[in-house]
């Protein structure tokens, strides 16, 4: 489409790029940068910092669950006398930690940290563009994300506590400060932070979509795009479709909270008073929330799947199996993901007939997911697997994706959901299938593209230690949760000691917490490796993994415009690994077809 | 101080690992060529991690078996409702399917990772697509899922769609509030009176509209008693935030939503006494009491009071985050033979009588202290005007 026009633009830009390059000050280079590679790093570092906060919170509340109402020095140190009198965590602060853990991990780490980092880094580099369609909007997007992160962190220090109504912030609990302390100023900050986050996410997504559609280099047709780009592209589309709905829900909730409207509230008697609200419905909020909330799962997961597709093919030295089926699956998942939100609401009081419809659409989503999993496994078959840390995390992702995805068959079935809804079974399911899987995707991406970002290599031995301990601990934490969930243990309970019925689950909870603590400690290995390697890692060659995609043809230096010369032209799809008739076991996309060479894939 | 210690330990751990990798690097210096030292996996890494991959599928299997043996008995046992066995059956089918697929796919994934681990000189097989294979693994999930969906929808329809005209059912209102439950039986007329939180006053804590003729014989209670073998239709309300009425032993759950009435129905099939005789429950209770007596011994040694021994009871739990004490919002559920249930119910005071009695007491005390009369009067006056517009909204 715009191929010819872009070629010219590229040539001119090249001269401009060098002129800019010398004028860079510290501020334009590292802070208010409009270069997509720097913005990607900013997203990554912010995401990692938010991740540290989110995981620390999970350790705190896991300790409370394993040793309920015991006094810990670390509670005193981190939560303070106000939130943990005498080192014993308060019950509403437990809920606050659960809420903010969920919010931070889902939105700030796995949406912005994962998709923000790798969409920004890879979209221009892999499609052969000088930068994003709008560098300025890209910068705005990052800085709005940064502001929303800061506001979310500030909300932790509000006197009555941060938002504590669960990450789903169902009203009326989230609307009434009388119902829980965190629904006062803490909730206001949460909503403001999320509104800014959504604006940031939309700007990013629009940029990604426009860039992928318009700025592909000559020869880069849609069916020659690496699967990473397909995943980022479709993710951005889902984001554009669904995030505005969350924004509207948040706005209406702000109206209910601050201006006395009754969108979500009706007939409430609390703290001895009848409130004036009349005619609203909390179920409406659930619909609006999950209309984003479910696609959000795929906004988190699809980039991770895209990243692993690329990494598995590269390290297996084999083409990804079923390239077109993979694209079709991404499209099918994206479409279905917007019409399954009701499976979060089977027992919400909505019409049971709707439950039937949502069961049907939900179980349909298992089909493209199964296709993806089988295609990954077939890609490994008869490969020459280079087991780099990124590859291990990618294989780990497929493993947790299968384990977590399979239990979706139970939860997506309205009948079976009745008794496991909101129990630890759900916690196990979504942590494995989207939390751990997406985290693995993020780790895989970091290990794989670290040389592309920083020009240095991460230490592989530390990478192996990091992977194996994490892999064991992830299963150690979430596998037992299926059992306590099927024993009927509800989630979001501060302690289970109020029910003698659950006394026999305590051992399991202690074991889960031990795995969680060990797993969290070993993330320090990663952090050390990451920050140490930025400055002291081994110098990386230009294409350390012998990969086919275009990002490895550009030098790693601070340069606006990505390629010093002309933009490379693309002659083949990105998965010509071990193609018969070639000397090397990889043929980069910018290598022209040999005379008489045939395209072997369909 | 403790946190300082923890940080110190963590730092030392980090240093230890760093040094370990150095030792690894040093041991490799002499033996491998320079290219092998590039942080890209070499044959040795592929070997080590390939074997670890194989070990990992072993870990998954062993951990699964361990979990089943060690924790399998924790899972809810005999269902106590009529639709329970159907639910458990569907669950069993799904679980078996999941275990089979999990076992096979995890094996293939990790076995291939091991078998095809990289070796210098090996060439991967260029295999980009195969329509037949892809068709096969699209169509198999389609068929299997079609079966599951049909069975699931059949069960769902059976459970959720209640034909109120046909059923000879007991109507019970379950009323949720931070952080307790109340119940109200429909009484002799079998009809629950209308209600709205704006009618809440004194002993009428559920906001029943006492001007509705159906309300007079309604029976409020703090314990949920149910008759065995009779369909019970729960009308669920909440007065403040979202709650969820969760009856794990009956495989039943429905949210309580302020501003609307939700419903769920089931037929209890085992009385509390019968359930206490259930072998699974006997074992579970013995195990729990064992744990509790150990804990009690500890508590007594610390000079605290021991825990009560546990006896099985059905429970109603709150299962939707509802505030600080969400973790302790529960109600005892008792299932009796129908005759015992009827006897229990007849011993409870109807709401009409209770309200009348309260009014009488109020009037008595008002005679003693006149000024209070005015305030109560004006309050009821405003209340009733509001009520006028609202009562139509909450028809049960």
Q: Are strands A269-270 and B314-318 parallel, antiparallel or unpaired?
A: unpaired
How far apart (Å, rounded) are the C-alpha atoms in residues A243 and A202?
Answer: 7
This prediction's pTM: 0.91
Q: Name the percent of chain B in helix, strand, coil, to the closest 5.
A: 55, 15, 30
Q: How confident is the model at residue A596 (pLDDT cuts 50, 70, 90)?
A: confident
Cα B8-B9-B15 angle, rounded to 5 deg:
90
pLDDT at residue B378 is higher than 50: no
Q: Is A208 helix (H, G, I), strand (E, B) or coil?
A: helix
Burial of A206 (C-beta count, 10 Å sphere; 0-12/13-18/19+)? middle
What is the Cα–Cα distance from A11 to A4, expressed in whole angstroms?
11
Contact in structure between B218 and B187 (CB atoms under 8 Å): yes
Query: Which residue of chain B is at minimal alpha-carbon distance from A485?
Result: B75
Q: Which of A181, A406, A492 sits opposite B321 (nearest CB)?
A: A492
The partner residues of B245 in beta bridges, in order of sequence, read B254, B318
pLDDT higher than 90, residue B40: yes
CB contact under 8 A, B198 and A267: yes
- Share of residues in chain A with pLDDT > 70 (%): 96
**What's the average model confidence in pLDDT over A242-246?**
94
Answer whether A270 sits within 8 Å of B239, measured CB to CB.
yes
Q: Which two tokens stand for residue A477?
A: 């934490």
How do residues B184-228 score in pLDDT, each as one tens digit? 999 888 899 999 999 999 899 999 999 999 999 999 999 999 999
* Cα A450–Cα A452–Cα A457 angle in degrees, nearest 5: 45
CB nearest B324 (choices: A92, A386, A580): A92
Report the pLDDT averaged over residues B174-179: 94
State how beta strands B219-221 and B180-185 pair: antiparallel
DSSP 3-state of B15:
helix
Asked if A95 lies within 8 A of B326 by C-beta distance, the reply is yes
> Out of A329-338, A371-380, B13-22, B298-307, which region has the weakest mean confidence (pLDDT)?
B13-22
ipTM: 0.92
C-alpha A74/C-alpha A60 separation (Å) is 8
Residue B386 pLDDT > 60: no
CB contact under 8 A, B124 and A585: yes
Contact between A385 and B125 under an 8 Å Cβ cutoff? The reply is: no
Are A73 and B1 an interchain contact pair (Cβ–Cβ within 8 Å)?
yes
pLDDT exceeds 70 at position B32: no
Residue for token digits 């008595």?
Answer: B364
Max Cα-Cα span within chain A: 85
User: A interface mutation test: which of B259, B284, B308 has the most A CBs within 10 A?
Assistant: B259
Q: How far apart are CA A448 and CA A180, in angstroms?
A: 44
How large is the average pLDDT for residues A178-201? 94
Asked if B39 and A460 come within 8 Å (Cβ–Cβ), the reply is: yes
Average model confidence (pLDDT) across chain A: 92
Whether the CB-CB separation of B46 and B117 falls below 8 Å is answered with yes
- Residues B13, A480: C-beta atoms closer than 8 Å: no
Asked if the model's pLDDT at residue B373 lies above 50, the reply is: no
Q: Single out the residue of A25, A90, A31 nearest to residue A60, CA to CA.
A: A90
The 8 Å CB, 24+ separation contacts for B67-73 are: B67/A479, B67/A480, B67/A482, B67/A483, B71/A480, B71/A483, B71/A484, B71/A508, B72/A483, B73/B280, B73/B283, B73/B284
Query: Is residue B361 over pLDDT 60?
Result: yes
User: Shortest Cα distance from A232 to chain B (angstroms)?
Assistant: 22
Residue B377 confidence (pLDDT): 43
- CA dist A429 and A46 (Å) reads 27
- Give the helix/strand (H/E) hosting A374: helix A366-380
Whether the pLDDT of residue A4 is over 70: the answer is no
**Nearest-angstrom CA–CA distance, A506 and A496:** 8
pLDDT band for position A27 (cuts 50, 70, 90): confident
B137 closest CB neighbour out of A371, A385, A495: A371
Question: Of A207-216, A477-486, A562-571, which gets the smallest average pLDDT?
Answer: A562-571
- Chain A nearest-CA distance from B339, in A, is 28
- In chain B, whose CA is at the least distance from the CA of A575? B128
How crowded is residue A175: how many other Cβ atoms within 10 Å of its Cβ?
28
At the top level of CATH, the class of B170-274+312-390 is mainly beta
Q: Does the pLDDT value for residue B380 go beyond 50?
A: no
At B46 the pLDDT is 94
pLDDT of amino acid A220:
95
Question: What are the chain A neighbours of B21 within 8 Å (beta carbons)?
Answer: 459, 461-462
By DSSP bridging, strand B232-238 and strand B170-177 are: parallel
CB A585: neighbour CB atoms within 10 A? 17
Instruction: Read off the tokens for A494.
Output: 């501060």
pLDDT over 70 (residue B385): no
CB contact under 8 A, B10 and A91: no
Helices A227-259 and A282-316: crossing angle in degrees, nearest 10, is: 160
CB contact under 8 A, B152 and A504: no
Tell me the chain A residues in contact with residue B388 when contact means C-beta distances shorter than 8 Å.
Answer: none
- Which residue bears the tokens 């046909």? B166
Q: Which residue has the higher pLDDT, A222 or B390?
A: A222
Q: Tell me: pLDDT of A19 over 70.
A: no
Which tokens belong to B251?
Answer: 């495989």
Which chain A residues are Cβ-neighbours of B82 within 8 angstroms? none
pLDDT digits (tens, 9 = 90+) for B5-23: 555 665 666 676 667 666 6
Q: Compare all CA atoms of chain A with the CA of B153 and give the residue at the minimum distance.
A: A356
Confidence of residue B28 (pLDDT cuts 50, 70, 90): low
Contact at CB, B394 and A281, closer than 8 angstroms:
no
The whole-number pLDDT of residue A558 equals 76
> pLDDT at position A15, please?
43
For residue A409, list chain B residues with Cβ-Cβ distance below 8 A: 94, 97-98, 145, 148
Q: A162 and A96 in contact (C-beta within 8 Å)? A: yes
- Measured distance CA(A324)–CA(A320) in Å, rounded: 10
* Whether A217 contacts A211, CB under 8 Å: no
Which band of pLDDT confidence, cut at 50, 70 and 90, is reported for residue B389?
Answer: very low
Tell if the CB–CB gap between B258 and A282 is shorter than 8 Å: yes
pLDDT above 90: residue B267: yes
Instruction: Please say whether the beta carbons of A127 and A211 come within 8 A.
Output: yes
The closest CB to that of A267, out of B196, B317, B320, belongs to: B196
Peptide bond into A454 cis (omega under 30): no
Which residue from B minimizes the CA distance to A418? B253
Q: What is the mean pLDDT of residues B91-114?
A: 96
Pair of tokens at residue A248: 């509207």
| Interchain contact, B152 vs A414, CB within 8 Å | yes
Q: What is the DSSP letter of A572?
A: S
In whole angstroms, what is the distance from residue A316 CA to residue B316 CA? 53
What values do phi and psi take at B304, rounded to 5? -105, 170
The whole-number pLDDT of residue B16 equals 67
Whether residue B288 and residue A360 make contact (CB cut-off 8 A), yes or no, is no
pLDDT, tens digit (0-9, with 9 covering 90-100), for A304-326: 999 999 999 999 999 999 999 99
Is B21 buried (19+), middle (13-18) or exposed (0-12) by CB count in 10 A? middle
A286 contacts A294 by C-beta, under 8 angstroms: no
Mean pLDDT of A197-215: 96
Q: Residue B372's pLDDT band (boundaries 50, 70, 90)?
A: very low
CB B178 within 8 Å of CB B240: yes
Phi, psi for residue A578 in degrees, rounded to 5: 55, 40
**Signed CA dihedral, A292, A296, A298, A302: sign only:** positive
| Strands across the sheet containing B170-177 | B219-221, B180-185, B170-177, B232-238, B262-266
Q: Once rounded to an integer, what is the mean pLDDT over residues A90-116? A: 95
B363 confidence band (pLDDT: 50, 70, 90): confident
CA A250-A252-A256 angle, to 5 degrees, is 115
What's the burial of B13, exposed, middle or buried (CB within 10 Å: 0-12/13-18/19+)? middle
Q: What is the pLDDT of residue A29?
A: 80
Q: CA B320, CA A423: separation in Å to the nearest integer?
A: 10
The CB density around residue A202, as the number of other CB atoms within 10 Å, is 18
Mutant choice from A91, A284, A347, A576 vs B, greatest count of B C-beta within 10 A: A347
Q: What is the DSSP letter of A201?
A: H
DSSP-derived 3-state class of residue A487: coil
User: Could you read off the pLDDT of B120-149 as tens digits, one per residue?
Assistant: 988 999 998 899 999 998 999 999 999 999
Give buried/exposed letters for A251-260 (b at 16+ CB in 10 A, else e). Answer: ebbbebbeee
| C-alpha–C-alpha distance, residues A46 and A58, integer Å | 19
Residue in chain B lying closest to A527 (CA): B14
**Apex CA A103: angle with CA A399 and CA A40, to 5°?**
75
pLDDT at residue number A556: 87
Confidence of residue B383 (pLDDT cuts 50, 70, 90): very low
Using a CB-CB cut-off of 8 Å, the residues of chain B touching A465 are 17
Which residues of chain A lie closer than 8 angstroms to B322, CB-CB?
173, 179
From the list A268, A278, A460, which residue is nearest B45 (CB)? A460
Question: Whose CA is closest to A365, among A296, A412, A427?
Answer: A412
* Torsion sign (Cα): B343, B344, B347, B353: negative
Backbone angles phi, psi at B180, to 5 degrees: -150, 170
β pairing state of B330-336 and B224-227: parallel
Q: Is the torsion defined by CA of A533, A539, A544, A548 positive or negative? A: positive
CB contact under 8 A, A269 and B240: yes
Q: How far is B137 from chain A (nearest CA, A)?
A: 6
Give the tokens for residue A12: 């001119």
Q: Looking at the domain that runs over A3-263+289-553, which CATH code has it been given?
A: 1.20.210.10
Which of B118, B129, B310 comes nearest A500 by C-beta?
Answer: B310
A74 contact partners, CB below 8 Å, separation of at least 6: A60, A63, B2, B3, B6
- Pairwise CB contact (< 8 Å): A367 & B145: yes
For residues A530 and A48, is the Cβ–Cβ distance under 8 A?
yes
Nearest to B287 among A268, A364, A504 (CB): A504
Q: How confident is the model at residue A9 (pLDDT cuts 50, 70, 90)?
A: very low
Note whether B257 contacts A281, CB cutoff 8 Å.
yes
Q: What is the pLDDT of residues A365-418, one digit of tens each?
A: 999 999 999 999 999 999 999 999 999 999 999 999 999 999 999 999 999 999
CB-CB neighbors (< 8 A) of B148 in chain A: 363, 409, 413
Neighbour-count burial of B108, counting CB atoms closer than 10 A to its CB (0-12 exposed, 13-18 middle, 19+ buried): middle
């Amino acid at each position: 489409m715009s191929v010819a026009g872009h070629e010219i633009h590229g040539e001119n830009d090249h001269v401009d790029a060098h002129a800019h390059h010398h004028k860079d000050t510290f501020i334009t280079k590292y802070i208010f940068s409009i270069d997509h590679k720097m913005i990607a790093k900013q997203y990554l570092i912010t995401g990692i910092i938010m991740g540290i906060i989110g995981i620390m919170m999970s350790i705190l509340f896991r300790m409370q669950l394993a040793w309920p109402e015991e006094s810990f020095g670390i509670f005193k140190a981190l939560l303070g006398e106000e939130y943990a009198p005498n080192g014993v965590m308060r019950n509403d602060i437990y809920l606050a930690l659960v809420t903010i853990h969920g919010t931070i991990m889902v939105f700030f780490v796995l949406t912005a940290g994962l998709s923000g980092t790798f969409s920004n880094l890879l979209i221009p580099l892999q499609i052969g563009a000088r930068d994003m369609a709008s560098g300025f909007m890209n910068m705005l997007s990052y800085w709005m994300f940064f502001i929303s992160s800061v506001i979310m962190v500030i909300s932790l220090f509000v006197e009555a506590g941060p938002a504590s109504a669960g990450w789903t912030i169902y009203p009326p609990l989230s609307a009434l400060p009388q119902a829980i302390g965190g629904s006062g100023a803490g909730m206001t900050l949460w909503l403001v932070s999320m509104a800014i986050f959504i604006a940031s996410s939309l700007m990013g997504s629009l940029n990604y979509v426009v860039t992928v559609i318009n700025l592909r280099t000559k020869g880069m047709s849609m069916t020659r795009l690496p699967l990473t780009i397909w995943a980022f592209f479709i993710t951005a589309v889902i984001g554009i479709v669904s995030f505005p709905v969350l924004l509207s829900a948040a706005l209406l909730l702000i109206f209910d909270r601050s201006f006395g409207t009754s969108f979500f509230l009706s007939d409430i008697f609390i703290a001895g008073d009848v409130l004036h609200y009349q005619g609203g419905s909390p179920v409406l909020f659930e619909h609006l929330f999950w209309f984003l909330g479910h696609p959000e799962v795929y906004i988190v997961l699809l980039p991770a799947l895209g990243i692993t597709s690329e990494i598995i093919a590269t390290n297996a030295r084999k083409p990804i199996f079923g390239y077109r089926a993979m694209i079709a699956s991404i499209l099918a998942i994206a479409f279905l993901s917007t019409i399954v939100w009701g499976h979060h609401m089977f027992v919400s009081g909505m019409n049971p007939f709707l439950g039937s419809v949502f069961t049907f659409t939900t179980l349909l989503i298992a089909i493209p997911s199964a296709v993806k999993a089988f295609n990954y496994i077939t890609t490994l078959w008869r490969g020459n697997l280079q087991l780099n840390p990124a590859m291990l995390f990618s294989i780990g992702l497929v493993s947790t994706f299968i384990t977590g995805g399979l239990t979706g068959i139970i939860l997506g079935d309205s009948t079976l959901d009745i008794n496991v809804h909101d129990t630890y079974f759900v916690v196990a399911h979504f942590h494995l299938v989207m939390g751990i899987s997406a985290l693995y995707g993020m780790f895989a991406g970091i290990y794989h593209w670290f040389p592309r970002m920083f020009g240095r290599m991460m230490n592989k031995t530390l990478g192996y230690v990091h992977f194996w301990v994490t892999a064991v601990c992830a299963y150690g934490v979430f596998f037992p949760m299926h059992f306590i969930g099927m024993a009927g243990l509800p989630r979001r309970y501060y302690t289970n000691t109020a029910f003698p019925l659950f006394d026999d689950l305590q051992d399991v909870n202690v074991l889960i917490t031990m795995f969680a603590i060990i797993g969290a400690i070993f993330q320090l290995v990663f952090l050390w490796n990451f920050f140490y390697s930025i400055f002291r890692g081994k110098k990386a060659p230009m294409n350390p993994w012998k990969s086919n995609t275009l990002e490895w043809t550009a030098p790693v230096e601070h340069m606006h415009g990505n390629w010093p010369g002309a933009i490379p032209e693309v002659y083949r799809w990105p998965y010509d690994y071990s193609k018969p008739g070639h000397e090397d076991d990889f043929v980069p996309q910018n290598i022209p077809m040999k005379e008489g060479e045939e395209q072997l894939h369909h | 101080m403790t946190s300082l210690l923890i940080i110190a330990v963590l730092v030392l751990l980090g240093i230890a690992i760093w040094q370990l990798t150095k030792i690894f690097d040093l041991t490799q210096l002499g033996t491998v060529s320079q290219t092998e030292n590039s942080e890209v996996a070499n044959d040795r890494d592929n070997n080590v991690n390939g074997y670890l991959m194989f070990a990992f599928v072993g870990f998954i299997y062993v951990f699964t078996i361990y979990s089943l043996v060690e924790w399998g008995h924790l899972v809810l046992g005999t269902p106590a409702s009529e639709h329970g066995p159907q639910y458990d059956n569907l669950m069993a089918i799904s679980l078996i399917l999941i275990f089979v697929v999990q076992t096979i796919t995890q094996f293939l994934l990790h076995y291939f990772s091991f078998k095809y681990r990289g070796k210098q000189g090996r060439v991967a097989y260029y295999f980009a697509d195969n329509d037949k294979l892809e068709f096969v693994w699209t169509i198999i999930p389609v068929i299997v899922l079609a079966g599951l969906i049909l069975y699931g929808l059949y069960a769902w329809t059976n459970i959720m769609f209640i034909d109120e005209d046909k059923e000879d059912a007991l109507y019970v209102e379950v009323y949720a509030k931070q952080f307790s439950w109340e119940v109200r039986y429909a009484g002799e007329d079998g009809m629950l009176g209308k209600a709205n939180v704006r009618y809440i006053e004194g002993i009428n804590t559920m906001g029943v509209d006492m001007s509705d003729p159906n309300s007079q014989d309604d029976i409020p209670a703090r314990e949920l008693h149910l008759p065995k073998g009779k369909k019970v239709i729960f009308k669920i309300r909440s007065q403040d935030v979202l709650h969820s009425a969760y009856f794990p032993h009956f495989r039943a759950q429905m949210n309580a939503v302020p501003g609307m009435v939700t419903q769920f129905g089931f037929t209890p099939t085992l009385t509390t006494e019968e359930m206490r005789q259930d072998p699974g429950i006997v074992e579970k209770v013995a195990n729990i009491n064992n744990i509790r007596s150990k804990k009690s011994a500890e508590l007594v040694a610390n000079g605290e009071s021991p825990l009560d021994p546990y006896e099985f009871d059905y429970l109603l739990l709150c299962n939707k985050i509802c505030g600080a004490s969400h973790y302790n919002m529960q109600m005892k559920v008792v299932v009796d033979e129908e005759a015992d249930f009827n006897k229990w119910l007849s011993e409870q005071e109807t709401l009409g009588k209770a309200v009348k009695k309260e009014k009488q007491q109020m009037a008595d005390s008002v005679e003693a202290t006149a000024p209070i009369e005015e305030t109560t009067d004006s309050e009821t006056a405003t209340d009733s005007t509001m009520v006028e517009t609202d009562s139509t909204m909450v028809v049960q």
